[in-house]
Each structure stands twice: as C-alpha cells, then as structure tokens.
Amino acid sequence: MTITITAFEKSPDRGQGLARDMRVRWALEEVGQPYEVRLVSFSALREPAHRAIHPFGQIPTYEEDDLALFESGAIVLHLAQRHAGLLPDDANARARAIAWMFAAVNTVEPPILDLQTTRILERDKPWYEQRLPLVQDRIRVRLSELSTRLGDARWLDGSFSAGDLMMVAVLLRLRPSGMLDEYPRLSAYVARAEERPAYKRAFDAQLAVFTNSLG
Ligand SMILES: N[C@@H](CCC(=O)N[C@@H](CS)C(=O)NCC(=O)O)C(=O)O
C-alpha cells in the first residue's frame, strides 16, 4: 500500500506548518505510516486531474490504492480508524474523540479563518477597523470556552487523540496573531503537542519542501 498526499509546491506560510497537509502528515507520523508527497502548484490545483480528486481544487488530498480522499478532517479520521494510535479502544471514548475532531473544524476553526480572511482580503475596506475587533472577540469566546474545558488536563479527553491533533492544528493557525498567548493553558496545550516526536517529524518534512526549494 502506497500513500500519497498533496501539498503546496510553494507554501504560502513559508513552512510554518500552517497549511493543512501538516495535519495529515502529523497523523501519518503518529500512526507510523510512510507516505509520499506530490507537490502541486496553484495552477495545477485548478486542473481537471486534481479536481477529480479534490472537487474544490485544494490541498491536501490522500490516495491509497483505489481510495482517494479530500478534507483534512476526513483523511485524519480515516487514518485514525484504520491504524492504532489516534483513537481510544473504548467505544464511548472513541466517539468523544471524534466529537473533538468535529469541534475543531466546525466550531473553533471558522472564526479563526474569518480572522485570516479579514486580515488578508478586507484590510482596505472602510469598515475593516470596526470589523476586526468583532472577529477577534468571536475567537476569544471559543478560546475561553476551550480553555475552561481543558482546565489543567494534558489533553482534551484522556490520552492524546485525533481530537487533540485536529484541535492543535487549528489553534496553531492563530499563533501569528498572538491571540493564543492570551490563554496560557491553551498555549501550553499546543506546546505539549509540538513536543511530540511525530509532530516534529511532520513539521520538519513540510519545512524541507520550502527550504529545499530555496536552494
Ligand atoms: N476544509 C478543507 C480546507 C482545505 C484548504 O483550504 N486548503 C488550502 C490550503 S491549507 C488550499 O488548498 N488553498 C488554496 C485554494 O483554496 O485555492 C480541509 O480541511 O482540507
């Protein structure tokens, strides 16, 4: 079985690990599966060959034998269900870990993406200065709720799971804004995840794409 994922040929984040192939790389490292990476340019994303795998013309995608998947959350869930290491054995704990995966992409990530959209695409609008704090406050509501639930625990629900992997991947997108620093428990939670050897291997691999392309 050969696993191939797609990633940006030229990473817009310059290898900070914020592109969504990072979640998939990290999950693959956690479950110990080797993988290959097909780098795609922005124009190739729009080509029929790529759209056949990803209807929205984005990265990451995942190919394994005759299975092709898109959506980082679905890919991580597929890996977590097929291989040991990212979901608990107990059925209820497993369901809760999957709930955290959905919470990451469906509840916590949207306001964070909204901030990125605001900063990048709406900066020149006359209402930008009014809108920015509203967007930031919506993020703070979620961070505060998440921090309260995490409390002093190491992970969201027992052992590290795919739920933590997705949540940390989403929270990392906030780092450039400095907002994560307002929540010491969440900052420590993210730092704990970044210490995982699987995270470091995945980070180094995605960074190498960028640093190698400079040479
Ligand atoms: N919900 C999707 C989002 C995928 C996504 O937004 N990918 C970005 C890179 S992180 C992308 O390909 N952007 C280029 C584009 O949309 O043209 C997922 O989680 O996989």
Q: For a pocket test of ligand 1, which of 59, 77, 206 has the largest count of ligand atoms closer than 8 A to its C-beta? A: 59
Q: Identity (one letter) of the amino acid at 144?
A: S
Record the pTM.
0.97
Q: 147-164 b/e with 16+ CB inside 10 Å = b?
A: beebeeeebbbeebbbbb
Greatest Cα-to-Cα distance within the chain, rounded to the nearest angstrom: 53
pLDDT per residue as tens digits for the range 137-167:
999 999 999 999 999 999 999 999 999 999 9
Return the ligand 1 atom nearest residue 56 CA: 16
For ligand 1, whether the C-beta of 40 sits within 6 Å is no
Return the ligand 1 atom nearest residue 46 CA: 17
Q: pLDDT of the chain along its 215 residues, tens only?
A: 899 999 999 888 888 999 999 999 999 999 999 999 999 999 999 999 999 999 999 999 999 999 999 999 999 999 999 999 999 999 999 999 999 999 999 999 999 999 999 999 999 999 999 999 999 999 999 999 999 999 999 999 999 999 999 999 999 999 999 999 999 999 999 999 999 999 999 999 999 998 876 54
Please state, in angstroms and rounded to a whole number, the distance separating the CA atoms of residues 209 and 37. 10
Structure token digits, residue 2: 């050969």
Please state, in angstroms and rounded to a whole number, the distance separating the CA atoms of residues 32 and 14. 26
